Chain A
């Protein structure tokens, strides 16, 4: 068996990489695919917290590459979804603790066991970035509809190309349709216009307070059937499996939809 290795990256920090990894990973596993999440943000370990698995960590990625423990022993089983595992980052070491060659080797081992290997890349364009992307077949670039995030995303698209990761997917995170409609936020079309034809939009995730709530609880929002952001992530998961899924209409996410839901005209 040879699974697919997907790295989630952005350039700019704080745009939602870890959130995306947690949700598409959980979604893929819930759909029946054996999935492993790799936290490559060494020194700033966070994926465990978002997944609610922080209390189960014994070994981490650096222990594995330095040979202190077997890969299997370092993997943590998710508590909700069958077939989902996490390889946590080290919190005490820094980005140089894993080399690109070691990451390639690790991905090779993981793809033997799993259908999907999803890597959470650190912010920035230095060593940590080059290591995180080293073993990947495909890249997802996460960006926000905002000038600095987009400029950095463009830079990342160029660097990915130099690492032979062409035609990346784009996830637009934290879009606010009220602002788009007012002319105060770039739309998805504006973003693809700017970034060029080679990027393919994989999904659009609304800015949604429930993501913060789900992070508080350590439960990925993709499992919440009532949440719009959760729906957006479920759509992304279906597209990753090769399905054609229309983009959600986010424009009526406000009061109207809530009213319609109340009277049973929408779900």
Chain B
């Protein structure tokens, strides 16, 4: 019965998205968000390591800095706002020659 109805609907141009397509689309979006949940501790660790790398090149304002995961409907972005005080004028040394000061 219902397939006859479907057929008639299609015949008269009332194409409706199937409920499984809708489910698939909704699941895709919600899982992007679910999977991006980072614990505050891990985010803090990420921030510390970022500071370690950045200070090799820049003098930054660590207090005014923010690092966040920004979740919109269909994507997740790491949004960092890092006030720069000055750019260090030097040729960056090769990594392996200098301890980075980044703690594990």
CB of B24 within 8 Å of the partner chain: yes
CB of B2 within 8 Å of the partner chain: yes
CB of A194 within 8 Å of the partner chain: yes
CB of B65 within 8 Å of the partner chain: no
CB of A183 within 8 Å of the partner chain: yes
Once A154-B34, A154-B35, A155-B34 are accepted as A-B contacts, the answer to whether A184 and B18 lie under 8 Å apart by CB is: yes
Q: How far is the CB of B42 from chain A (nearest CB, A)?
A: 12
Complex CA distance for A149 and B34, rounded to whole angstroms = 14
* Residues of chain A contacted by B18 (CB below 8 angstroms): 182-184
Complex CA distance for A190 and B21, rounded to whole angstroms = 9
CB of B61 within 8 Å of the partner chain: no
Complex CA distance for A185 and B18, rounded to whole angstroms = 9
Q: How far is the CB of B10 from chain A (nearest CB, A)?
A: 11
B27 near A187 with CB under 8 A, answer no
Complex CA distance for A167 and B3, rounded to whole angstroms = 39
Once A190-B24, A194-B24, A194-B27 are accepted as A-B contacts, the answer to whether A182 and B34 lie under 8 Å apart by CB is: no
Return the chain B residue nearest A181 by Cβ: B3
Once A182-B6, A194-B27, A194-B28 are accepted as A-B contacts, the answer to whether A187 and B34 lie under 8 Å apart by CB is: no
Choose from A155, A182, A190, A193 the contact partner of B2 (Cβ within 8 Å): A182
Chain B contact residues, majority secondary structure? helix
CB of B56 within 8 Å of the partner chain: no
> In residues 8-36 of chain B, which contact A (Cβ within 8 Å)?
18-21, 23-24, 26-28, 30-31, 34-35
* Residues of chain A contacted by B24 (CB below 8 angstroms): 186, 190, 193-194
* Residues of chain B contacted by A193 (CB below 8 angstroms): 24
A147 near B27 with CB under 8 A, answer yes
Complex CA distance for A256 and B75, rounded to whole angstroms = 45
Q: Which of under 10, 10 to 19, 20 to 34, or 35 or more describes the interface residues of B?
A: 10 to 19
Q: How far is the CB of B71 from chain A (nearest CB, A)?
A: 16
Complex CA distance for A139 and B24, rounded to whole angstroms = 24
B20 near A183 with CB under 8 A, answer yes
Return the chain B residue nearest A187 by Cβ: B20
* Residues of chain A contacted by B35 (CB below 8 angstroms): 154, 158
B23 near A147 with CB under 8 A, answer yes
> In residues 177-205 of chain A, which contact B (Cβ within 8 Å)?
180, 182-187, 190, 193-194
Complex CA distance for A183 and B10, rounded to whole angstroms = 14
CB of A132 within 8 Å of the partner chain: no
Q: How far is the CB of A30 from chain B (nearest CB, A)?
A: 36
Complex CA distance for A151 and B34, rounded to whole angstroms = 9
Return the chain A residue nearest B26 by Cβ: A147
Q: How far is the CB of B1 from chain A (nearest CB, A)?
A: 11
Complex CA distance for A191 and B24, rounded to whole angstroms = 8
* Residues of chain B contacted by A186 (CB below 8 angstroms): 20, 23-24
Once A154-B35, A158-B35 are accepted as A-B contacts, the answer to whether A180 and B28 lie under 8 Å apart by CB is: no
Enumerate chain B interface residues (CB-CB to A < 8 A).
Answer: 2-3, 6, 18-21, 23-24, 26-28, 30-31, 34-35
Enumerate chain A interface residues (CB-CB to B < 8 A).
Answer: 147, 150-151, 154-155, 158, 180, 182-187, 190, 193-194
Known contacts A147-B23, A194-B31; 20 additional CB pairs below 8 A are: A154-B34, A154-B35, A155-B34, A180-B20, A182-B3, A182-B6, A182-B18, A183-B18, A183-B21, A184-B18, A184-B19, A184-B20, A185-B20, A186-B23, A186-B24, A190-B24, A193-B24, A194-B24, A194-B27, A194-B28
